[in-house]
Amino acid sequence: MAIPKWQQNVPSNRVIFPMRYSVLRRAGAVIFVVACILGNSVNISGVVASGIQPEPITQHASRNACGQVSSNRARCLSTISTERVADPITASPNTSGFYGPTEFHTAYQLPCTPGGVVQAVCATPSTYGPETIAIVDAGGYASTSGTLEADLQTYTTHYGLPACTAANGCLTIVNQTGAPSPLPANVSSGWSNEIALDVQVAHTICQTCKIVLVEANDDTLTNLVAAEDAAATFAPVAISNSWGATTDVSAYDSHFTRTGVAVVAATGDNGTNNNGQSWPADIPAVIAVSGSTLRLNTNNTWASETLWSGSGGGCSTSYTAPAWQTSRSDWVTNGCSNGGRAFGDVAADGDPNTGAAVYVDSGWYMVGGTSLASPLIAAMYALQGAMPAGTSAVKTLYQNSSQTAFHDITSGSDCVTSGQLDCTASAGFDVPTGLGAPTGLSAFVADPTPPYNLMASHINQTQLNISWATASALNGISNYQIYRDGSLTSTSTANGFSDTGLTPNSYYTYYLKTVDNKGGVSSPSETLAADTFLLPDINRDGHINLLDFSLLASKYGQTGGSLGRSDINGDGVVNLLDFSLLASKYGTE
């Protein structure tokens, strides 16, 4: 398939807007059914469910949302329906697309609030958060139906979701400096469509989360990067970026390379990119999200997912594959043939024929593209909850790779030319769909966890014993890494370590990391301070003598929290027991 003209000639320093819209033609239009019902039973996650059948997928007419623009402006690559509809169909089962809370939560087995059960609609919470989803888009919102908040209210009312407003603390809109005003002017109708999609889908998935929309002044990379930095100041669990550029700008990579935050980016909507570029999705530290065709059963459960033919991504020509990709056993056969970083990492619904219902510009549209997949995945991270500081969100996905965490996507192609490599889905990890589509939230658990309750016991002036409570690791614990004063000093397979050869009368700090059986490494534990002073050496001069007896005597009979080292046995009182312990060490060093 040739690359369409509108995909070519995009200025190298401008942003691609990966989103697609489509809508069902009204009565009299031709409807193409591209999937057939497979008899009276289907296999759902390995279990045959009698009487449950996959719904057919209907093709919908659509057009490009944006026309030609000047060379110094970005171009959105969205596709919008030729007609709008009054209301999306909400019948169950849903036979026409327009997926909403019921379809997404049932298919992907998601709660509507962190820590909840699988459920499509939450009760209105007393407060929103603390989980926050940040969304970065270009320009302000413009709609004939009113403000973003008003259109979101129409959406939430239609589906019976908790209202998401500025007044109740759910919705915050700021400019690229993080300030509530002045907000930027609208860039184009395409970007307004994108904003509506991102915010409505994020609220659909995590209905008790806070949503922060950061609006860049325009679609230049400089301003979008500034907006990215502003988004990070709101302590989000995830930052969703439903846009991309055709040229890698490595000077800006650090703005998207964050630990403890899931930075999510769409891979694009025009098939696998021949030059291996869709920035920032191809940055190794970013979660690159590709698009799938999500097919539901008649009861809205997951029937199948295939690679959407319009999904982007591929093999980077600027970044080498990270260790969490190359260490996989299926990398040799399914990884990038050029040794580059494979993007996507994970997939979610993106086909405009199985898209989300979105309310914008006084009407309902069915919206697809990797612009849909990106907020879906970002909101799933938020449902799992905050990640420990220092955690790599993208690496977490690979550590949690399993048949229970992901639906493997094994079919479909997003090739744009014949004979193209790295653009066909296959069993296991593959370049266009990564690890597959999540099922439930186990893929997003920060795993392994660091050990906790670190304690030190003094042995002598050259030895300390460190102990800790067992960490958790879905893939089992291989060992613990022990860091002394910031440097790796040893490893241990037990819950304790004896640190010898230390310098007398010295202070040390320790922290630990957990290593699982797949090579995953946790964030650091809390820091423990310890010293090699002899406890009876109350004045810490390296000698136990009459000066120590004198200091202990000055505290004799006292109780409380100000006893210091005079309370040698740590029982909260200075008495004869402490004198006895000091006497047993008298004259030693």
Please state, in angstroms and rounded to a whole number, the distance separating the CA atoms of residues 408 and 434: 9
Q: Which of 77, 11, 73 is nearest to 247 (CA)?
A: 11
Give 215's Cβ-side CA count (13 Å radius). Answer: 26
pLDDT at 82 over 70: no
Picking from 58-62, 314-318, 398-402, which range would have the lowest pLDDT averaged per residue?
58-62
Q: Is pLDDT of 111 > 80? A: yes
Tell me what pLDDT residue 103 has: 95
Mean pLDDT of 376-385: 97
Please, which pLDDT band fits residue 519 given cuts at 50, 70 and 90? Answer: confident
Q: Which of 105 and 144 is assigned the larger pLDDT?
A: 105
Instruction: Give percent of the chain with pLDDT exceeding 70.
Output: 84
Average pLDDT in the chain: 84
Q: What are phi and psi of 262, to 5 degrees?
A: -90, 105
Token pair in block for residue 327: 């260490």
**Among 583, 45, 35, which Cα is nearest to 302's?**
45
More confident residue, 205 or 51: 205
Q: What is the pLDDT of residues 443-480, one digit of tens each?
A: 998 878 888 889 998 777 789 999 999 887 877 899 99
- Specify the 3-state DSSP secondary structure of 43: strand
* Spacing of C-alpha 204 from chain mean position: 17
Q: How far is CA 141 from the centre of its chain?
A: 25
The angle at the Cα of 369, spanning 368 to 371, to the nearest 5 degrees, equals 105
pLDDT at 37: 28
Q: Which of 228, 198, 244 is nearest to 16 (CA)?
A: 244
Q: What is the pLDDT of residues 279-302, one digit of tens each?
A: 899 999 999 999 999 999 989 999
The pLDDT, as a whole number, for residue 26 is 31
Question: What gap in Å lies between CA 379 and CA 280, rounded to an integer?
Answer: 19
**Dihedral of alpha carbons 293, 297, 301, 304, sign:** negative
The whole-number pLDDT of residue 13 equals 44
Region(s) of the chain under CATH 2.60.40.10:
452-531
Q: Are strands 346-349 and 287-296 parallel, antiparallel or unpaired?
A: parallel
Residues 212 and 236 sit within 8 Å (Cβ to Cβ) = yes
Name the segment(s) of the chain with CATH classification 3.40.50.200.
15-117+130-252+262-312+346-403
* Residue partners of 366: CB distance under 8 A and separation at least 6: 21, 22, 23, 24, 60, 81, 88, 97, 98, 352, 353, 355, 356, 357, 358
Question: What would the mean pLDDT of 15-36 be, rounded to a whole number?
Answer: 37
Q: Are 162 and 122 in contact (CB under 8 A)?
A: yes
Region 517-535: mean pLDDT is 81
Question: Looking at the predicted structure, is the pLDDT value of residue 348 above 90?
Answer: yes
Instruction: Report pLDDT for 6.
Output: 33
Interval 127-136 mean pLDDT: 97
Determine the residue type at 296.
Answer: L
Average pLDDT (58-62) is 72
Q: What is the pLDDT of residue 43?
A: 33
Give me the DSSP letters along 226-289.
Answer: HHHHHHHTT--SEEEE--EESS--GGGGGGG--SSSEEEEE--SSSS-TT---BTTTSTTSEEE
| pLDDT of residue 190 exceeding 80 | yes
Q: How confident is the model at residue 4 (pLDDT cuts 50, 70, 90)?
A: very low
How is residue 417 annotated by DSSP?
Answer: S
The pLDDT, as a whole number, for residue 45 is 36
Count of CB atoms situated within 10 Å of the CB of 28: 5
Question: Going by DSSP bridges, is the β-strand pair 496-499/463-469 parallel, antiparallel, or unpaired?
Answer: antiparallel
Distance CA 468, CA 38 (A): 55
Class of CATH domain 452-531: mainly beta
Contact 239, 214 (CB under 8 A): no
Query: Are 152 and 228 spatial neighbours (Cβ–Cβ below 8 Å)?
Result: no
pLDDT value at residue 76: 56
The model's pLDDT over 392-413, given as tens digits with 9 standing for 90+, comes to 899 999 988 888 999 999 999 9
pLDDT, position 276: 62
DSSP 8-state secondary structure symbol assigned to residue 563: -
Cβ atoms within 10 Å, residue 445: 17
Statement: residue 221 has pLDDT above 80: yes
| Greatest alpha-carbon span in the chain | 103
Dump pLDDT digits (tens) for 479-505: 999 999 999 999 999 999 999 999 877
Pairing of strands 47-50, 452-460: unpaired
Q: Can you identify the CATH homologous superfamily of domain 15-117+130-252+262-312+346-403?
A: Peptidase S8/S53 domain (3.40.50.200)
Both tokens assigned to 410: 């094994």
* Closest among 287, 174, 286 to 230, alpha carbons compared: 174
Q: What is the mean pLDDT of residues 540-554?
A: 83
**How many C-alpha atoms does 170 have within 13 Å on its Cβ side?**
22
The residue among 248, 253, 249, 250 whose CA lies nearest residue 276 is: 248
Q: Is the pLDDT of residue 520 over 60?
A: yes
- In degrees, to the nearest 5, what angle opens at C-alpha 440 toward C-alphas 328 and 398? 15
Task: Look at residues 144, 256, 148, 131 and name the one whose alpha carbon lies nearest to residue 195.
Answer: 148
Spatial distance between the Cα atoms of 494 and 558, rounded to a whole number of angstroms: 40
pLDDT value at position 31?
28
The model's confidence at residue 522, banded by pLDDT at 50, 70 and 90, is confident
Report the chain's C-alpha Rg in angstroms: 28
> Over 60: is that where the pLDDT of 19 sits?
no
Of 26-35, 265-274, 365-374, which range is least confident?
A: 26-35
- Whether the CA torsion 349, 354, 357, 363 is positive or negative: it is positive
pLDDT at 157 over 80: yes
Is the pTM higher than 0.85? The answer reads: no
Q: Confirm if 109 and 439 have CB atoms less than 8 A apart.
A: yes
Q: Looking up tokens 């004259």, which residue turns up?
A: 587
Q: How confident is the model at residue 263 (pLDDT cuts 50, 70, 90)?
A: very high
DSSP-assigned beta bridge partners for residue 202: none
How far apart are the C-alpha atoms of 235 and 245, rounded to whole Å? 25
Give the best-scoring range by mean pLDDT among 87-101, 154-168, 299-313.
154-168
Q: Do residues 241 and 17 touch, judged by C-beta distance below 8 A?
A: no
Single out the residue of 135, 322, 119, 128 nearest to residue 239, CA to CA.
135
Name the residue with tokens 């040893």.
Answer: 490
Who's near 92: CB < 8 A, 6+ residues apart?
102, 299, 300
Q: Is 139 left (phi over 0), alpha (psi -120 to 50) or beta?
A: left
**CA 268, CA 272: separation in Å to the nearest integer?**
8
Burial class from Cβ neighbours inside 10 Å (0-12, 13-18, 19+) for residue 26 reads exposed
* Peptide bond between residue 182 and the one before it cis (omega within 30 degrees of 0): yes
